[in-house]
Structure 1
Amino acid sequence: MTLKRRIFLLFLFSSLAPFLSIFIISYYTIDSIFVNKIDNGIKSNLKQVTFSLQNSITNLNHITQQLSYGGTIGKQLDEVLQSNQNQFQRMESRNELMSELNVVTFTNPNIGLVLYYFQDSGESEFENFPVKDHFSPASLPVLSRSYGISYFGPHESMNQYDDQLVLSALRKVELPNRDDVYIYVESGLNLTQNILENDQYDGALSHLILDGSGQIAYSEISQIFGKGTEIPDLSSGQMEGEFHGYHWFRARSDQDWSVVSVITQSDYQHEKNQWLLQILLVALFFLALTLLLAWLLWKMVYRPLNLFHAEIHWMSQNPQLVKRQTYTRIPEFDLLLNEFSDMGKQIGFLFKEVEQKEKNRIDLEVEKLLYQINPHFLMNTLNTVHWLAVMNGQDEIDRLVQSLNKLLYYNLGKLGQVSTMREEIDALRQYLILQQIRYDFEFDVRISLDEKVLQIPVPRFILQPLVENSLYHGLSDEGYIQIEVKLDDDIQISIQDNGAGMSEETIQNLLNNRTVEQGKVGMGIGVNYVNRMLKAQYGNRAKLEIKSEMGKGTKVLLILPIAGEEVST
């Protein structure tokens, strides 16, 4: 797992774990508080509605009792209905009765429509408001019946000028001579409507009123709880529960009817959902803040890590150079960068020291090789001088000795002395003279030179081993050696012969085996010396190639770079 991911996960855990713990504890605590608050609020509202309706019904009971035969007005009604009165007396009694009714209704503002209902004829009289044509107590929803009184649940008023919901009561007047006379009283104007609309939840509550048998006498949401139906959950005596996505609470009155407050689950959970939404927004804020802090921390760590990476990359590409010091402005990282920079300097010094030691070692090896002259060569040469002196005259001996002296002088020169291509060619010619005299056979040596290359500095003793290789590998009396030196962007030296040729294995031994030629050729120093000398002097800029074909000869190609030297014209 990357450092960046670890930082983000660590910050998320350290920030969200305490928040989640607090959230879980708060959730259950607040949930309990909200449930109690909502339940208590709904129950309080339900209790208030039930109490108000019960008071209204009790008030209706009192009014009907006053208007029954036991009261003064009931007796006046009996007199009006007596047939032994003349028309004038009857008119006077009716006026007195209406006057008494008006006094009762005026002194009871919670009373609305009042009338006497004659069941046999279906007519009503002595009403204080005009009555609707379809008035029939039998069609009204019965809430409860007790002691000869029928209470009707909320229904539309029978007052022709009022369509509000009312409660009503129907009571038999109990006249001595008639059994079909009833007093009908409604609750006051808008009273019942106001009671049912007393909702502290902005209209979220709906009400049901159940009669004594558990049937719905009144419903504000008839699409779910239909009027006249019986819901088992509601009629079973439970005081609260859930039904079809609604939460309901029940309160029972003293007259055995019940009021049920109904609220949808969404409204019931509305306040709690609002709190949860606020908590969620706070959680998102903390999450964003946590991620921002983690990102800032990562940036503080990422920049020093980038600098470390740049330092390491610079050191790998330039081990001998010291990069300019950079700073992060973070003391701990700056200390590490300083120590890393010091380490880089020490590594650079070690590289230079190792490089210098390696160069000194190579120089010593080359110098050692230069002085590894095979004694057999000198002995054979001196023996040749002896026999020449016996067999021939002084001139030949003098020629041989002069060539030998020149060659030895050049070849035994100290390492580091400046040598030019001219001096290298002159030494090669002296070597070829000695070889022709020594082996006593003729071979053709052709040297082609570009005059511009003669004064260019070159490593000492690089041509003789290559020509000696041609002599050693099968050059006959009719053989030739073609030497060509050209100048282009670099020095190109080609040495070609028509000898017996070499195998690929022999070529690889010549280039890579340090001991393969020791003691077999004149100076004891071969192609391997040239190859190592070029690498020591030029690195990978010089090139040495050998191409040979058995029976047809060998070609050696030597390419030397020119590094800032002026070419002589």
Structure 2
Amino acid sequence: MPTIRLNNVTFKNRIIVIFLISSLTPFICLGFLSFYTIDSIIGNKVEGALQSNLKQDLLTLENALNNMNHVSQQLAYGGGTIKLIEQLAAEQEKYEQLRLLGEIKAELNNITFSNPNIGLLMYYAPETREYSFENFAVRGDFQPERLPVLAHYPEITYYGPHLSYNGSINQYVFSIMRKVNMPDQDLYLYIESGRNAITSLFAPQNRKESSRRLLLLDDTGKITFSEVSEAFAENGMFPEANPKTQSGYSKGYFWNKEVSNQGWSIVSVVPEGELNKERNRWLIQILGIFLLFIVVVLLIAWLLWKMVYRPLDKFHREIKSLIHSEEREHTEMTHIPEFDYLLYQTRSMKRKIWGLYEEIEQKEKRRADLEVEKLLYQINPHFLMNTLDTVHWLALMNGQKEIDKLVLSLNKLLYYNLGKMGETSTIGDEIEALKEYLQLQQIRYDFQFDVDIDVDEQSLGLPSPRFLLQPMVENALYHGVSDDGYIYVGVALQEDGLQITIQDNGAGMSKEMIAQLLDENTEESHKVGMGIGMKYVKRILKANYGEEARLHIRSEVGKGTVVSLRLPVSPPAAALPITSEGEPKE
């Protein structure tokens, strides 16, 4: 089945398919190889850039936290500030208290000014929920228990990004809270990162890669801060359960993770579509080139088709025109020397073939005419007609009216039927000759039969071959008409030709007998009428009308026979070949 389907593919389609396959296969292979290579390069480049940026962010954040941790150690363990705070707590005199308070603030200001990455700094007493020695005005109620915890240790707690309590700024900061080494009271040191310490981390509008977002995880993997809360909600667990995994895909994002020395983690997330933007841009460019390449290939295939297939189409039309001699000769050329030479040879062959065909046709026509002449002149007409004329006068002299009538009818019939081939005859002449023939047969046979002749007067002047109706009527008499027999002869002029019908109610014929009657090579065809019969009818029809006349015999044993003959009139009517089954071929 596949082979059959392939054999039905046209030459045009084969050219296009083969050209497309041969042209596109190397391009597609090269495209896949390039895509794989570029995809690897871009993937490594993007992922490497994200990982590098994340490490830089972690380093920035650790530096800020380490700086705050270093300052907290100075202020929480046995430094001058702690001693001043202890003295202030023990001092009763107001003046001395004011002096000590000024020294403490001066000490804290010196530390703040010498560390620009330090923001709000103050001491906090959890029992009284009061804070003191703050270096900036505090916004609202200070509630450290609400801050997001990054990591918690016995002496220090790291807090994730939150809005600063510094009343002079409004931005996200990191902070730490360390227990102060004071045996007599429960006191903690609270320090926030400075104004510019982590601005580049948590200000997405300042990032070069605006699609990158950050998450912060505590040491248990819980999300303490999220810039994409719709996918990774705060206080929820990060989807990646394995803490050693540094990158992956989750919820439509590509993520990278870095773990700090304190145990908390920073995660950068990028939408997969954004991650593939450069890859997709390259792919679109390749597809554009591919489409352009296909257009060029199709254009070249069309040019090949025009150059090869159209000349072949001209050859196809030349071959088809071989069967139509009247079709005018084509003169257009393909303008391709090889094809033009073949077209010239084909047209020369066509002219020679039709020249030979016309020569053979003329020879066959002359042969058919000679055959008819031979059949008509098998009897010497002059001798026979002179003898009959003598018999006529003898019968008239002896008073034999029946013989006189018979001989006179026979003489007229023979005079008409044995006329020369070139003499003009009409339907009216054929009817008159048929009447003479029927009169002879009524005298000859010892049974009575009726004849009904119905002729359209408009058809009497139409030209007709000589000796056409008599053999068909003779065939009716030969095949079974007896007493009370009936023969009908009808001639009607119709729009598409002249219809002649001869019908009898005789014994009829089988299909085999009809086939034998129409076959010129059987003995039965020679037993009809005067040795000429239906053979003559067929020959004369072919000689005069070619294939435009139709002869149809319909018969049934015991029910009679109907012979139908349709002759073309001007303009000639299209005809169908004769069939032995009695039906014209459709």
Q: TM-score, normalised by structure 2?
A: 0.71
- 1:369 aligned to 360, 368, 375, which one? 375
- 1:61 aligned to 56, 69, 85, which one? 69
Which is further off, 140-149 or 403-412? Answer: 403-412
Amino acid at match of 1:368: K
Equivalent position SS for 1:196: coil
- 8 Å contact kept, 2:392–2:408: no
> For 1:444-472, what per-residue CA distance to the aligned partner results, in whole angstroms no more than 9, with x for missing partners?
x9999999999997656668878988999
- How far the C-alpha of 1:48 sits from its partner, in A, is 0.8
- How far the C-alpha of 1:158 sits from its partner, in A, is 2.1
- 1:165 aligned to 149, 167, 172, which one? 172
- 1:521-532 equivalence runs, <5 A: 525-526=532-533, 528-532=535-539
- 8 Å contact kept, 1:248–1:262: yes
- How far the C-alpha of 1:256 sits from its partner, in A, is 3.4
Matched, 1:37 2:45: yes
> For 1:287-324, what per-residue CA distance to the aligned partner results, in whole angstroms no more than 9, with x for missing partners?
455455545655655544554454444443x2455533
Equivalent position SS for 1:532: helix
Matched, 1:348 2:349: no
Distance across 1 between alignment mates of 2:189 and 2:216: 27
Aligned-residue Cα RMSD (Å) equals: 5.7
Q: 2:200 matched to which residue of 1?
A: 194
> For 1:387-439, what per-residue CA distance to the aligned partner results, in whole angstroms no more than 9, with x for missing partners?
969x979xxxxxx99999999998877x65545569979x979x98xx89x98
Distance across 2 between alignment mates of 1:493 and 1:221: 101
- 2:330 aligned to 321, 324, 332, which one? 324
Q: 2:583 matched to which residue of 1?
A: none
Distance across 2 between alignment mates of 1:451 and 1:122: 139
Matched, 1:108 2:83: no
- 8 Å contact kept, 2:474–2:528: no
- 1:37-436 equivalence runs, <5 A: 37-68=45-76, 70-83=78-91, 86-144=93-151, 148-175=155-182, 178-197=184-203, 199-211=207-219, 213-222=220-229, 224-231=231-238, 233=240, 236-287=243-294, 289-291=296-298, 293-294=300-301, 297-298=304-305, 303-304=310-311, 306-316=313-323, 318-319=324-325, 321-373=327-379, 417-419=422-424
1:265/1:518 CA distance change after superposition, 3 Å? closer
1:93/1:538 CA distance change after superposition, 3 Å? closer
Which is further off, 503-512 or 272-281? Answer: 503-512
Distance across 2 between alignment mates of 1:254 and 1:484: 124
Distance across 2 between alignment mates of 1:294 and 1:132: 78
1:464/1:48 CA distance change after superposition, 3 Å? closer
Q: 1:397 matched to which residue of 2?
A: none
Distance across 2 between alignment mates of 1:421 and 1:550: 34
1:475/1:264 CA distance change after superposition, 3 Å? closer
Equivalent position SS for 1:14: helix
Q: Which runs of 5+ in 2 are unaligned?
A: 1-5, 400-405, 572-586
1:59/1:353 CA distance change after superposition, 3 Å? same
Equivalent position SS for 2:33: helix
Amino acid at match of 1:63: V
Q: 1:567 matched to which residue of 2?
A: none
> For 1:259-284, what per-residue CA distance to the aligned partner results, in whole angstroms no more than 9, with x for missing partners?
22233434333433443344444444
Distance across 1 between alignment mates of 2:251 and 2:462: 108
Distance across 1 between alignment mates of 2:236 and 2:525: 123
1:327/1:78 CA distance change after superposition, 3 Å? same
Equivalent position SS for 1:191: coil
> For 1:172-226, what per-residue CA distance to the aligned partner results, in whole angstroms no more than 9, with x for missing partners?
4435x74434432211115324323464431332221423x54444333455545
Which is further off, 55-64 or 113-122? Answer: 113-122
- 8 Å contact kept, 2:499–2:565: yes
Higher-Rg structure is: 1
Q: 1:18 matched to which residue of 2?
A: 26
1:169/1:503 CA distance change after superposition, 3 Å? closer
- How far the C-alpha of 1:507 sits from its partner, in A, is 8.6
Distance across 1 between alignment mates of 2:494 and 2:73: 140
- 8 Å contact kept, 1:247–1:262: yes
Identical residues among aligned pairs (%): 46
Q: TM-score, normalised by structure 1?
A: 0.72
Q: 2:579 matched to which residue of 1?
A: none
Equivalent position SS for 2:104: helix
Q: Which runs of 5+ in 1 are unaligned?
A: 394-399, 565-569
- 8 Å contact kept, 1:486–1:492: yes
Distance across 2 between alignment mates of 1:384 and 1:421: 29
Distance across 1 between alignment mates of 2:54 and 2:160: 16
- 8 Å contact kept, 1:494–1:555: yes
Distance across 1 between alignment mates of 2:181 and 2:499: 148
Distance across 2 between alignment mates of 1:550 and 1:220: 106
- 8 Å contact kept, 1:374–1:519: no
- 8 Å contact kept, 2:489–2:502: yes
